[in-house]
Structure 1
Amino acid sequence: MDIFIISLRTIIMFIAVFIFFRLSGKKDLGEISVLDIIVSLMVAELSASIIEKPDLPLSFPDRRLPLQSCEGQSPTIRGR
């Protein structure tokens, strides 16, 4: 039963991520900015967390998941 649920969640998240990237309109690597790469990594992390943890709902995932990978890291802003 777990294999079926994980497979179904994987297919659903693949379709959702595929649609997300198709709507972004980036077709060439030269068109991708740093912000696009960061957003892509965050979407990938959130998708992996949803697939790996079957107790999380697909429709409204835990908002803290992307922030858990940043614990203990504090960004610094340098003035010029």
Structure 2
Amino acid sequence: MGCDGLGSYGSYAGHGGRVTLVNCWAHVRRRFVECEEKFPQATEAIELIGELYALEREYKAGRRTRRGCWSCASTGSGL
């Protein structure tokens, strides 16, 4: 289930393995931005999320295939 990280969604997780929670990248990114001043290493996470956004834009524009997206992620070759 895709969600915004609201705590009440946690009650759905773990129902015999049938429900997996995934957070929205925009909400995840916001948390890193909020703590970036005190934790400069958050910058790396923000940049990686930006690369995911770029990959999604390329896919939506037809410049990448689903297989191409997964191969970048699984090889660790970068986006």
**Which structure is richer in relative contact order (CA contacts within 8 A, separation 6 or more)?**
1
TM range (shorter): 0.3 to 0.5
Report the TM-score, using the length of structure 2 for normalisation: 0.41
